[in-house]
Structure 1
């Protein structure tokens, strides 16, 4: 049975009331919450967490339940309430499933997954109570060692939920890696892939043949010395471990699907009139004909797109950095992550954005020059890299080999061009000359690159360009 259960309801649920009704001990046991009321956690007599329940989230963005759960939700807007059961404890899994079923019954809706919510009976609560501080601090972590925090995620898409985001922050602050364990068939949200980082953080996939393997590299893994680590092949030597690659990871087929990926940075003076998100909205509109559909501080993205509201949240969190996820409509899959940081020069936005295209759809590469000019002339662009990848239209990251993206274009903002000595920005070793963008007296530069996803030679051209621009 899954470790996470989710209630999708038409009306705002009252989790405390439902929990009180579930427990045979009555409402007297529901005497406290954690996380400023955001999390309720039930524990056994020894203080071990059984079930953690997050505050309901109002979702106002179409397609998020379908994208992340493969579930059909109630009509918009609807309420999303998550409960996480402690791994391997039958009582915890039964209590979480019953909670979600009762919530869906009382507030109108359905529980996910359906098989987790078959029992509507009262749950025996002898020895169960509300967790004291700080037990509820990290409800997402299943195993904690002196090297890593391990999170088990048995859901169709491992998304950057509020719980998982908390686990990322806590492990980083403690100097630990984060290892996400999921069954075969699970995919990652791009938001999780781009945040996961390097060793010892990993996406660990269960596999019938190999046991476990790394979902991003394919390396066969085993639990050793307090974390999942690569194993050496039988013919390994002390100087060459020759890590085997899982056969499942290598089972790929050509579908013709593509992704257009853009990574760009903008910088703005710190001003009370500043509105963030304008650059992302401009790119989205130029490439799809419409602005983003929604945004949030975690997945699911629950709020309709609003640069003003996004700016308000970033302003409230300053000077600490802010992280957001932005999504498109189900008809045109698109997902971006935005990191807002205060710098000495002002406010910087770093955006990672991808759109998915089917085999019969045209990737709009002809619009890239116009996109670059809009960013350079209206949104204080610093730099942008554009790539095309052979990857899924729905943007989900499978535990299979996906080739790297190939650079289509690189753009240098006007201020960055101005800082370069002489004609270095204009005269490059590439066969194609750069395209000036904006005013002739203060242009940005657009550098076309080969961009053939079947030919990795584009990276060699990109490396030559970067070395030249740096004066190497």
Structure 2
């Protein structure tokens, strides 16, 4: 298992401070650059990896370290901080101490704190020359612990698994190599929304160790085992590839259906870590704009955020931590530089107003599209700001080019992280159809859905959208509505829009 250690510093780690940190491996260790200079790798004299250091990230967004690392991630003092990840190599005995020494050297020179606190080393001036790499497979990617022909396995030992730059790159590398990405965590670990979204769909998996030598899927509760032939046909072609797969009921020693009790415990009441579940408001929407040089992206998301929390987002970035202060203009410039390639981003809120979103910007034949999934956390007894949803929907239609939108609520953690246990599925509250879709369907047809409550027209007749309240009908009402409006899309409704969870 790898060990992740993070140096949180007030000053920027420069070349000399990084070099001093890497010298902790002793005079026989070698340093090489990978991923276009974004990663420094420390190896022994035989080239076997000992540790990797990722390029430092300047985090301007307040509260990001505490969100991802817990209270121990808070660094005294105000202002931005530098986040430098150190990752001990898989199977390198003593690598955890080496990672701690590297991070401790950076903090000693630059001020700040080491996370986790237990990894901080007082005798950081010493070199760690007794690290013993195993003879096992070394992978080229710094986040991948085991690489096979069909699976890339990442072992994470942190309490909150976030979509760091190198984990995001591991997802891309696995996809380009037609491999599944499987994240293995200890019991009690949680995912951020971006990681949970990235893991959507088999063969990607969240593999949780049950503490008794077994494994289960953190999103479904199904028991998993390590075996060749992960997708059921590799053995026939002679490619025996290890990967985690779902065990069949016949293979369960206790005769159950393969769902782990650990994954279903805690559906009601307090979580094991003492965190009381609250409620979440989840909005999924797509907006479309004409491709114009004066276009500024992020307006719909900012409007949603302002409506729900009373303030705009706090920060954004291409990975977690979301390092940049919220700026629609800077976000737009970044997406424009990447065009025509799509741009994926994460957006976060202020610490006292829990919120997180993923934003995907893409060029299509019809213009520029923004796909947003935003989740906001509230105490269980708090009122969700749903009374003004029709007015928000009207602004999205008339000002931001809304195509469709779905609003859901669910009982889940206020901090928006995803535990490896059953959570009550989200319930849809309302569906919104934009003016372009209404024109395609026909306004007469669109205004007469099979719902108990009539829809609300948004905007003038010539460019009308509709807000459809779903009442107590839930998913059945939504599926009936989609089947009425767009029969060709009815069968995909639940899988496309339902919020993540076990």
TM over 0.5: yes
> Which residue number in structure 2 is paired with residue 469 of structure 1?
485
Q: Is contact 2:2-2:155 (8 Å) kept?
A: no
Aligned length: 456
1:304-343 aligned within 5 A = 304-343=325-364
- CA distance in structure 1 between the partners assigned to 2:475 and 2:213 by the alignment: 33
Task: Flag structure 2 segments of 5+ consecutive residues without an equivalent.
Answer: 229-241, 270-275, 489-502
Alpha-carbon shift at residue 124 of structure 1 (Å): 4.6
1:103-118 aligned within 5 A = 103-118=106-121
1:274 lines up with 2:290 in the alignment: no
Alpha-carbon shift at residue 66 of structure 1 (Å): 0.7
Match of 1:213 among 211, 216, 220: 216
Secondary structure at the aligned position of 1:390 is classed as: strand
Q: 1:108 to 1:227 in 2, by over 3 A?
A: same
- CA distance in structure 2 between the partners assigned to 1:20 and 1:199 by the alignment: 38
1:139 lines up with 2:142 in the alignment: yes
Match of 2:319 among 298, 301, 304: 298
Deviates more, 1:381-390 or 1:67-76: 67-76
> Which residue number in structure 2 is paired with residue 175 of structure 1?
178
- CA distance in structure 2 between the partners assigned to 1:422 and 1:127 by the alignment: 70
Q: Deviations over 1:359-410 (max 9, x none)?
A: 2211111021111111101000000000001111110100010121111000
- CA distance in structure 1 between the partners assigned to 2:479 and 2:131 by the alignment: 62
Alpha-carbon shift at residue 22 of structure 1 (Å): 2.3
> Which residue number in structure 1 is paired with residue 124 of structure 2?
120
Task: Flag structure 1 segments of 5+ consecutive residues without an equivalent.
Answer: 130-134, 452-456
Q: Deviations over 1:233-261 (max 9, x none)?
A: 3478xxxx974111111112245611000
Q: 1:307 to 1:295 in 2, by over 3 A?
A: same
Q: Is contact 1:278-1:307 (8 Å) kept?
A: yes
- CA distance in structure 2 between the partners assigned to 1:169 and 1:107 by the alignment: 33
> Which residue number in structure 1 is paired with residue 494 of structure 2?
none
Secondary structure at the aligned position of 2:33 is classed as: coil
1:80 lines up with 2:83 in the alignment: yes
> Which residue number in structure 2 is paired with residue 366 of structure 1?
387
- CA distance in structure 1 between the partners assigned to 2:139 and 2:222 by the alignment: 34
- CA distance in structure 2 between the partners assigned to 1:73 and 1:320 by the alignment: 37
- CA distance in structure 2 between the partners assigned to 1:40 and 1:321 by the alignment: 28
The TM-score, its normalising length taken from structure 2, stands at: 0.86
The TM-score, its normalising length taken from structure 1, stands at: 0.92
Q: 1:471 to 1:91 in 2, by over 3 A?
A: closer
1:228 lines up with 2:244 in the alignment: yes
> Which residue number in structure 2 is paired with residue 438 of structure 1?
459
1:413-432 aligned within 5 A = 413-421=434-442, 423-432=444-453
> Which residue number in structure 2 is paired with residue 246 of structure 1?
260
Q: Deviations over 1:301-356 (max 9, x none)?
A: 11110011111111111111111000001111000000011111111100000000
- CA distance in structure 2 between the partners assigned to 1:340 and 1:208 by the alignment: 41
> Which residue number in structure 2 is paired with residue 63 of structure 1?
63
- CA distance in structure 2 between the partners assigned to 1:268 and 1:137 by the alignment: 40
Q: Is contact 2:139-2:146 (8 Å) kept?
A: no
RMSD (CA atoms): 2.2
Match of 2:475 among 444, 459, 462: 459
